[in-house]
Amino acid sequence: MTAPNPAWTPLLLADPSPCLRRLVLVELLSQAQPARPENRRPPLRYRGCAKPPFRISRSLPPTTKPAKASNPPRMFVMRRPTGRLRTLDCMAQPGQAGAAAGMNDCPENRPPSAGRLAGFISEIDELTGAMETDRLAIGLLARQQADGSWQGADLDMQSDPLRATTQALLRLGYLGFAKEHPAVQRGAEYIFSAQQLDGSWPLPGADDEEEGERYSMIPLQTALPLRALAACGLATDPRAERGFEWLLAQRLPDGAWPTGIAAGVHGYVAGYRRLAHSRWGCRSNTTGALICLALHPTRRSDPAARRSLDLLLGRETREVHAVGFEVARIIGAEPTRGFLTYYARFDSALLLDLCWRIGASAADDRVADLAGFVGKLQGAYGLWEYASRPQASRWVSFDILRSLSRLGGPAAWISLEPRTPFRPYPRQTRR
């Protein structure tokens, strides 16, 4: 197989997991197309015979066009629906940190050939059969119970089987296991069996979180199982659609989701979960609900999803240590803890992933600043290093590269939400 795009090459070196290699090749295949000359025009025809596109005098020798001025090196980043590839200028020198979208070594401005695409397809088919041997999946598949559930101890979690099954199914979906896989089918049926009549899932028990006893409703009680189902391709299942309807019914008038309902009133919003333009909106619950909408094929473009993304983009804090935390937790490198605090860390990589899924425009100043911040964290060898768990660096790099390459598009939208300073704990005026 021809060498892949240099921006993705570090993810394919050192023989990484079959699931990661397959995801990278699927992403490259979705962005690539066979090569074709630029400015190609169909030949002119006269009475069925092809003619040159311009007249050449017989008395003069054939002329050549003057050489064009050299353009800056470019790199193919994504394929638009029109069939053209958007390019980014390589402003950084080779090996210099901060090269946009992983472009440490600028490749030729040439789309892949048909033979290269055929190599992608052949290797993807081969890796699909080896997914169950991946070290991230082999132990998880072996520990599944007969009823389709997982126990908390199987995932190093202190939680009930429903929460553990939710996290296990989310990992399988992220690794690329589809809804047709037997393990995914059994796990999904176990989660659906716990669904209530109104479409929601029950609150966690007192062993998981003390808040579960005091609140009568917390949006995350449904957002977490629904995300796992949607990650495996079950977002359009009629039972999952009932969960989406319940989740949307809990929205506040300003578009956010609250902490919950306790004794008939909205729960308190701690400063680290506060949103810039919402009085009672909770960032953790809003993030969980928005991820579910982003994984739905049609609801991702709803005004509800765009409004929620607006509110999350209103928090313009930049926490370097949290970049890539969500991916590291999904693959099991980071422990899974908390319920209301499940999305307590403000992961810029997760927010960037939501931007391209919901269709935010790269021309939006907030999105551009976010992409620039994440891009500057790229290491000299093309990877985004996750310092606390180095084994997750390749997965974090894949997720960020996918977000940067898919950001924008012809149907992208730009928010009109004002940019205001955000303080998680505003000062209280004393009397």
Among 168-177, 208-217, 257-266, the range scoring the smallest mean pLDDT is: 208-217
Q: In the predicted model, is pLDDT for residue 216 greater than 80? A: yes
In percent, the amount of the chain with pLDDT more than 90 equals 46
pLDDT value at residue 352: 95
pLDDT value at residue 79: 39
pLDDT value at residue 266: 80
SS (H, E, C) the chain: CCCCCCCCHHHHCCCCCHHHHHHHHHHHHHHCCCCCCCCCCCCEEECCEEECCCCCCCCCCCCCCCCCCCCCCEEEEEECCCCCEEEEECCCCCCCCCCHHHCCCCCCCCCCCHHHHHHHHHHHHHHHCCHHHCHHHHHHHHCCCCCCCCCHHHHCCCCCHHHHHHHHHHHHHHHCCCCCCHHHHHHHHHHHHCCCCCCCCCCCCCCCCCHHHHCCECCHHHHHHHHHHHHCCCCCCHHHHHHHHHHHHCCCCCCCCECCEECCEECCCCHHHECCCCCCEEHHHHHHHHHHHHCCCCHHHCHHHHHHHHHHHCCCCCCHHHCCHHHHHHCCCCCCCCCCCCCCCCCHHHHHHHHHHHCECCCCHHHHHHHHHHHCCCCCCCCCCCCCCHHHHHHHHHHHHHHHHHCCCCCCECCCCCCCCCCCCCCCCCC
pLDDT value at residue 130: 86
- Give the model's confidence band at 107: pLDDT under 50 very low, under 70 low, under 90 confident, else very high: very low
Over residues 85-98, mean pLDDT: 37
Over residues 130-141, mean pLDDT: 90
Q: In the predicted model, is pLDDT for residue 66 greater than 60? A: no
CA–CA dist 84, 71 (Å, integer):
18
Over residues 29-53, mean pLDDT: 55
- Give the model's confidence band at 315: pLDDT under 50 very low, under 70 low, under 90 confident, else very high: confident
**Which of these, 176, 183, 262, lies nearest to 216 by C-alpha position?**
262
Q: In the predicted model, is pLDDT for residue 326 greater than 80? A: yes
Cα Rg for the chain, rounded, in angstroms?
25
What is the pTM (predicted TM-score) of this model? 0.78
Among 31-40, 101-110, 155-164, 298-307, the range scoring the smallest mean pLDDT is: 101-110
Residue 116 or residue 398, greater confidence: 398
Supply the mean pLDDT for the chain: 79
Over residues 259-263, mean pLDDT: 85
pLDDT value at residue 425: 66
Over residues 314-319, mean pLDDT: 88
pLDDT value at residue 71: 45
CA distance to 134, 142, 174, 387, per residue, from 383 (Å): 21, 31, 20, 12
Among 39-48, 197-206, 210-219, 332-341, the range scoring the smallest mean pLDDT is: 39-48
pLDDT value at residue 202: 93
- Give the model's confidence band at 152: pLDDT under 50 very low, under 70 low, under 90 confident, else very high: confident
Over residues 85-94, mean pLDDT: 37
Q: In the predicted model, is pLDDT for residue 403 greater than 90? A: yes
Among 64-73, 94-103, 235-244, 308-317, the range scoring the smallest mean pLDDT is: 94-103
- Give the model's confidence band at 166: pLDDT under 50 very low, under 70 low, under 90 confident, else very high: very high
pLDDT value at residue 215: 84
Residue 127 or residue 221, greater confidence: 221
- Give the model's confidence band at 372: pLDDT under 50 very low, under 70 low, under 90 confident, else very high: very high
Query: Which of 66-80, 109-123, 274-288, 343-357 shows the highest mean pLDDT?
Result: 343-357
- Give the model's confidence band at 182: pLDDT under 50 very low, under 70 low, under 90 confident, else very high: very high
pLDDT value at residue 114: 60
**Which of these, 197, 178, 192, 296, lies nearest to 244 by C-alpha position?**
296
**Which of these, 120, 127, 118, lies nearest to 25 by C-alpha position?**
120
Over residues 355-366, mean pLDDT: 90
pLDDT value at residue 48: 56
Among 62-76, 265-279, 388-402, 407-421, the range scoring the smallest mean pLDDT is: 62-76
